[in-house]
């Protein structure tokens, strides 16, 4: 199947508004032709002046010609404005529809998509790439037809008055085009590919560099440990310098040819007037010299046009990266959870379709049980939690909530059944009240206050004069990680879902905050099925079952006492933990 062109894709988003786009092209081209009419009147003025010389008083038609020139210039502008109005009507429609399409598609994607794709990148694509498409349709395309109509009209004008001078002023145009082709073409495409590669290598290394900053800081290494990053920058520099040098000569000749049309005319003028100057010839020569800037301008505009096309192609490709992400499957016959149990059966999962990060995990969690996931970082604890709330779908095996496969439970119902409080639970820019109310939008203020109290948040609310109406993210309102997590806990309490997934925070600025978060967690967990990702062993001692997750598998499982008796990985972790607690006590005592 032939790939649809970028333009026809954009027109698809315009619907019936596409006729406005087409109208804008016609109007813009007409405006370009009308813009040339004043030059004809300028020629008439010059003719009258030269005919009347030296009795200039006889040139009575000049004011009339002058006004006519002004009239056509204004008319051309008005037509151009009409063209832009049409093009914008359609461009805004296309941008809106593109944004809608991307946003609607986001709604059917797995929740984990935003996380993996990067919310910043997503925002940039939806905002900026649709913006690029809008500019292309609103300005660049009408200007293209304007720029194409101008040389056609010019050609007629140039050849109509004096074909010899006309041809002469076209000579630099042909020359400029010849030079331009040496700067574009096949070789140039290869160059552009190299440029893209150099740029990509550099930005990849830059990401690695930023990721590595904590390591550099912790181990006191110097920046020179990032030799690869420096090498890519050097490579890029080398490329840019050689490219610039290569283009220096052709670009110089191109600019000279485009801007030097009058030089050709004067040389020709001298050649044609060896037998004396006729007033008629002088008239035409002056006219041609006056019109030359239009030629240069048109050429330059045409030259930049291919660039615009590349920008919009790139923008569409970026939007496609969102639109082509596979949506979540919806089951025809929905199932409903019967209770708050969670069952995993031989679950396999990978983020990229290549490396498995969960390799055959099974577990049975009864309603009301509290289970803890412990184990080394990167073992797969968070991934398991993500699979239970269907942020991603398993590759094989199944995740069941209340006996129903999560893929068969309607999205809203699943979300009503499970609450989650993650480490990086983000609060929205809105009041504390609004943020908590996200848990249950119809809750009253009194109910919100009650959960804030239960979640140990009153110190946060009382810190600000506006209380629960304090808008988070405004100037002077800063909440620490622990405080944000407590508000997120209040939100989950308000939602009151029977299954709870908690990701304990790894680090707290102060012990007071830590104690409060623990107390809030305990309140929240009452009477629920709880899956907890534990980073500290102190919190897991009372769990009904502890799962040691290592390398995508359950290495051990059981209660604390059972696991300690096994003398395995958990027993070692527990001994280390005990030793560190004793060490702390000894130090403090």
In sequence order, what are the residues at sequence separation of 6 or more whose Cβ sits closer than 8 angstroms to the Cβ of residue 365? 341, 342, 343, 371, 529, 531, 545
Instruction: Tell me how far, at minimum, the Cβ of 503 lies from ligand ADP, in Å.
Output: 8
Residue placing its CB nearer to ligand ADP in the complex, 377 or 542: 377
Instruction: Tell me how far, at minimum, the Cβ of 102 lies from ligand ADP, in Å.
Output: 20
DSSP of 502-571: EE--S--S-HHHHHHHHHHHHHHHTTSEEEEE-SSGGGTTT-SEEEEEETTEEEEEE-HHHHHHHTSHHH
- CA 332, distance to chain mean position in Å, is 34
Instruction: Tell me how far, at minimum, the Cβ of 106 lies from ligand ADP, in Å.
Output: 16
Residue placing its CB nearer to ligand ADP in the complex, 467 or 568: 568
Residue placing its CB nearer to ligand ADP in the complex, 11 or 573: 573
Residue placing its CB nearer to ligand ADP in the complex, 42 or 111: 111
Strand ranges across the sheet with 529-533: 418-421, 499-503, 529-533, 370-374, 545-550, 553-558
Residue placing its CB nearer to ligand ADP in the complex, 151 or 380: 380
Pull the structure tokens for residue 163.
């074909």
- Residue 529 and residue 497 in contact, taking contact as beta carbons nearer than 8 Å: no
By CB under 6 A, name the binding residues for ligand ADP: 115-116, 351, 357, 377-383, 549
Q: What angle do CA 574, 578, 583 make, to 5 degrees?
A: 150
Instruction: Tell me how far, at minimum, the Cβ of 114 lies from ligand ADP, in Å.
Output: 10
Number of residues that this document lists for the chain: 589
3-state secondary structure of 377: coil
Instruction: Tell me how far, at minimum, the Cβ of 137 lies from ligand ADP, in Å.
Output: 35
Instruction: Tell me how far, at minimum, the Cβ of 377 lies from ligand ADP, in Å.
Output: 4
3-state secondary structure of 348: strand
- Spatial distance between the Cα atoms of 460 and 62, rounded to a whole number of angstroms: 80
Instruction: Tell me how far, at minimum, the Cβ of 549 lies from ligand ADP, in Å.
Output: 6
Residue placing its CB nearer to ligand ADP in the complex, 48 or 503: 503
Instruction: Tell me how far, at minimum, the Cβ of 343 lies from ligand ADP, in Å.
Output: 19
In sequence order, what are the residues at sequence separation of 6 or more whose Cβ sits closer than 8 angstroms to the Cβ of residue 413? 334, 336, 337
Residue placing its CB nearer to ligand ADP in the complex, 115 or 434: 115
User: DSSP alpha helices (H): ranges in 324-444?
Assistant: 381-388, 411-417, 432-437
Residue placing its CB nearer to ligand ADP in the complex, 349 or 574: 349
Pull the structure tokens for residue 488.
């997120």
């Amino acid at each position: 199947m032939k790939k649809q062109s970028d333009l026809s894709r954009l027109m698809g988003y315009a619907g019936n508004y596409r006729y406005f786009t087409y109208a804008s092209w016609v109007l813009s081209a007409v405006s370009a032709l009308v813009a040339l009419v004043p030059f004809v009147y300028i020629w008439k003025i010059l003719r009258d002046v030269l005919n009347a010389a030296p009795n200039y008083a006889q040139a009575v038609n000049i004011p009339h010609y002058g006004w006519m020139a002004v009239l056509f210039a204004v008319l051309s502008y008005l037509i151009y404005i009409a063209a832009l109005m049409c093009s914008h009507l359609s461009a805004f429609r296309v941008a809106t529809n593109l944004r809608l399409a991307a946003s609607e598609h986001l709604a059917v994607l797995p929740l984990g998509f935003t996380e993996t794709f990067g919310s910043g990148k997503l925002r940039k694509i939806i905002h900026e790439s649709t913006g690029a498409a809008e500019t292309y349709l609103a300005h660049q395309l009408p200007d293209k037809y304007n720029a194409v109509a101008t040389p056609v009209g010019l050609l007629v004008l140039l050849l109509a008055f004096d074909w010899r001078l006309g041809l002469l002023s076209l000579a630099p145009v042909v020359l400029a085009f010849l030079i331009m082709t040496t700067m574009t073409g096949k070789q140039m495409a290869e160059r552009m590919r190299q440029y893209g590669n150099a740029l990509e290598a550099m930005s990849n290394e830059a990401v690695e560099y930023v990721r590595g900053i904590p390591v550099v800081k912790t181990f006191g290494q110097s920046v020179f440990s990032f030799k690869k990053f420096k090498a890519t920058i050097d490579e890029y520099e080398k490329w840019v310098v050689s490219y610039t040098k290569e283009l220096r000569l052709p670009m110089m000749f191109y600019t000279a040819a485009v801007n030097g049309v009058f030089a050709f005319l004067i040389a020709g003028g001298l050649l044609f007037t060896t037998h004396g100057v006729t007033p008629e010839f002088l008239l035409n020569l002056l006219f041609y010299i006056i019109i030359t800037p239009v030629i240069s301008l048109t050429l330059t505009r045409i030259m930049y046009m291919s660039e615009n096309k590349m920008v919009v192609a790139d923008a569409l490709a970026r939007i496609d990266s969102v639109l082509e992400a596979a949506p979540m499957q919806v089951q025809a016959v929905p199932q409903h959870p019967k209770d708050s149990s969670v069952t995993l059966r031989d679950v396999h999962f990978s983020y990229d379709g290549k490396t498995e990060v969960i390799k055959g995990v099974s577990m049975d969690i009864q309603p009301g049980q509290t289970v803890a996931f412990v184990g080394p970082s990167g073992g797969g604890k968070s991934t398991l939690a993500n699979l239970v709330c269907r942020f991603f779908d398993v590759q094989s095996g199944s995740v069941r909530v209340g006996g129903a496969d999560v893929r068969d439970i309607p999205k809203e119902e699943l979300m009503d059944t499970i609450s989650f409080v993650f480490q990086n639970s983000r609060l929205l820019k809105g009041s504390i009240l609004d943020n908590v109310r996200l848990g249950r939008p119809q809750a009253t203020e009194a109910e919100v206050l009650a959960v804030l109290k239960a979640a140990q948040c009153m110190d946060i609310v009382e810190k600000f004069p506006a209380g629960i109406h304090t808008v988070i993210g405004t100037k002077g309102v800063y909440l620490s990680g622990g405080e944000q997590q407590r508000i997120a806990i209040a939100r989950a309490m308000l939602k009151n879902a029977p299954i709870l997934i908690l990701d304990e925070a790894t680090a707290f600025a102060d012990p007071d905050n830590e104690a409060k978060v623990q107390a809030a967690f305990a309140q929240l967990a009452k009477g629920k099925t709880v899956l907890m990702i534990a980073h500290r062993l102190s919190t897991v001692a009372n769990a009904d079952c502890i799962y040691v997750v290592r390398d995508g598998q359950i290495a051990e499982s059981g209660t604390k006492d059972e696991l300690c008796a096994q003398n395995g990985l958990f027993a070692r972790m527990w001994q280390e933990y005990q030793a560190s607690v004793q060490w702390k006590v000894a130090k403090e005592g």
